[in-house]
Amino acid sequence: MNGELFPRERTEIAPGAVHVPDWLGPERQRSLLAACRTWARPPAGLRTVRTPGGGTMTARQVCLGLHWYPYGYARTAVDGDGAPVKPMPAWLAELGREAVGAAYGTAPPAAGEAPYDIALVNFYDGDSHMGMHRDADERSAAPVVSLSLGDTCVFRFGSAASRGRPYRDVLLRSGDLFVFGGPARLAYHGVPKVHPGTAPPELGLTGRLNVTLRVGGLDLPPG
């Protein structure tokens, strides 16, 4: 955001875990939001995720490329309307590569090498949150790329060893990038709090959207 008293810097939160504030400018945020709105529509649109324990996730979700459910992947919305999952757009996979380069200060991974083939779009409204968990249903060790739109949240990032302390709380704002790979790839993380009403007014979003990009490395039977 412009006009910060203290500019927010790119920060390594843990080895392999990097926060890049304001990575997406207002125009790219607007176009990503517009895309999320079309993905959210049925078929295979936004759904409430039920966990095996009988609970529900408070953030609603839509997937692209492959459909994530607790705890695996499928080619159809097996825990939704059963429709085929929407394809992963090439431009979004490309954004994933670009993000990895930006976070680690390196050239992006070679095109075609471990392409980002899965996107999860999480929508947080009201007092939605996400408990501490690991992204562990993929076979690939490629970094996870996370983009934030709308309201500011508290993103809690811990270690691979436990869902409890030690962890660090980072404020993720609209346009921020967070990448976790290498030794941080399997770290526990979650969203304990979203701050309502903190989205940039010109974006026109009430609530928070998170776009998480992953490389599956999966070998699912054709759908």
Ligand X SMILES: O=C(O)CCC(=O)C(=O)O
Provide the mask over 168-187, with x wherever binding to ligand X is found by CB under 6 A and - wherever it is not.
--------------------
Provide the mask over 134-163, with x wherever binding to ligand X is found by CB under 6 A and - wherever it is not.
-x----------x--------x--------
Nearest to ligand X of 197, 222 (CB atom)? 197
Partner from Fe ion, ligand X, none binding residue 130, C-beta < 5-8 Å depending on class = ligand X
In whole angstroms, give the CA distance from residue 167 to residue 189.
Answer: 9
Residue 122 as a binder of ligand X (CB under 6 A): the answer is yes
Residue 22 as a binder of ligand X (CB under 6 A): the answer is no
Residue 212 as a binder of ligand X (CB under 6 A): the answer is yes
CB neighbours of residue 59 within 10 Å = 22
User: Is 207:151 a contact under the CB 8 Å cutoff?
Assistant: yes
Determine if residue 189 is labeled as part of a ligand binding site. yes
In whole angstroms, give the CA distance from residue 191 to residue 168.
Answer: 12
Footprint of ligand X on residues 67-96 (CB under 6 A)? none
CB neighbours of residue 103 within 10 Å = 23
DSSP label at residue 203? G
In whole angstroms, give the CA distance from residue 195 to residue 67.
Answer: 28
Nearest to Fe ion of 29, 212 (CB atom)? 212
Residue nearest to ligand X (CB): 210
User: Is 59:98 a contact under the CB 8 Å cutoff?
Assistant: no
Q: Which residues of the chain form contacts with ligand X (CB under 6 A)?
A: 120, 122, 130, 135, 146, 155, 189, 191, 210, 212
